[in-house]
Amino acid sequence: MSNLPKNINSKDLDYFTWMDKLYPEPICINEINQGIFVNSSFIEVNKFFLFKSKISILNLKTITTGLIKRKFSIFKDVSVAICVNQWSNNYFHWFTEVIPRIIESKKCNSDVVFVFPFTLNEQYQIPSLGMLNISYVHNNYHWIFFKKAFSSQNTIKNTGHFLLSYFEDFNKYFVSHRSEKNKKIYIKRKANKRRIINENEIIPIFEASGFIIVELENLTFQKQLELFSEANVIASIHGAGLTNMLFLSKPGIVLELSKENENMDKCFFNLSKVCCHDYYYLFCKSDKPEESYHSANIFVHAGKLMSILNEIKKNEKY
């Protein structure tokens, strides 16, 4: 029962346990000789073996576009590593899937060059790679030709599911010290979709409970690391901001606000477990119940929120 949310309601048991049968897989490094990487798939040329890391096909449009526009790169003198998939430009997937696989690949071959078939952003991708001290190149490649490559892509089965081993070396690179500060942080989302309709009502409730309100879009990646390393409680609507629980310097508390009656992947609940954080949740009504949790706005019940925040205050670890 310790792996369940701290404020679990008996009627929600199935909601948080039905995916327990989907066991994530350890990160596996595959060595591929003389091949091509195209459309998120590997072709090992000398065997003409299609190595698929996810459900995808080599479509004619991608192939012809790459050849006509000459968007390809050839690596014949160095070993390369490719650790990306179709979700890798998302903050959550970058830190929970790409970064752990880069760290694992680096252990296998410290001289490998990491290749990213898209332009990396300067907001968090380039700064985080700088902290890993690796060699890498990036561009909008349609084709990548290589003599030797290491693949450690995650499968669909692994997305949103984690093993503790994924993050064993994470703190070494991103959390410099154990902070004695105990900040409580509410992450305010600026996006046009998946918003909290009555956020002006609940922000004073968070502030009264000792939370500081932050908009991550206004912070550099380094400032985010510093901020969350000093936190012991974070709260937010379901979204990439909750990924920052990875940067807490000690076990803490996570509160996720999400759309009710949604059979969604419990990625932040699962991440909380492997990070040893206590997880709390509040299911909220939506303005458009028919919409997916990816886009639906929610209304947070003020009374229920205050009750949960009072419970969190009693159970704070520090």
Domains along the chain with CATH numbers: 10-21+178-315 (3.40.50.2300), 30-159 (no CATH)
- Provide the mean pLDDT of the chain: 83
- In angstroms, the CA 186 to CA 170 distance is 23
The two tokens of residue 264 are: 């969604």
Task: Count Cα neighbours of 41 within 13 Å in the Cβ-side half-sphere.
Answer: 16
**Sequence-distant (≥ 6) Cβ neighbours of residue 99 within 8 angstroms:** 128, 132, 170
Mean pLDDT over 89-101 rounds to 93
Instruction: Give 218-253 pLDDT, tens digit per residue.
Output: 899 999 999 999 999 999 999 999 999 999 988 999
Q: Where are the beta strands (DSSP E) in 139-275?
A: 143-151, 183-187, 211-214, 231-237, 253-259
Give the total residue count for the chain. Answer: 318
- CA distances to 192, 215, 224 from 218, in Å: 16, 6, 10
Report the predicted TM-score, pTM, of the whole model to 2 decimal places. Answer: 0.87
Which range, of 11-20, 39-48, 128-137, averages the lowest pLDDT? 39-48
CA distances 271 to 88, 98, 184, 241, 278, Å, are 17, 15, 19, 13, 11
For residue 188, the model assigns a pLDDT of 94
Confidence of residue 165 (pLDDT cuts 50, 70, 90): confident
pLDDT of residue 126: 97
Between the ranges 105-109, 138-142, 211-215, where is the mean pLDDT highest? Answer: 211-215
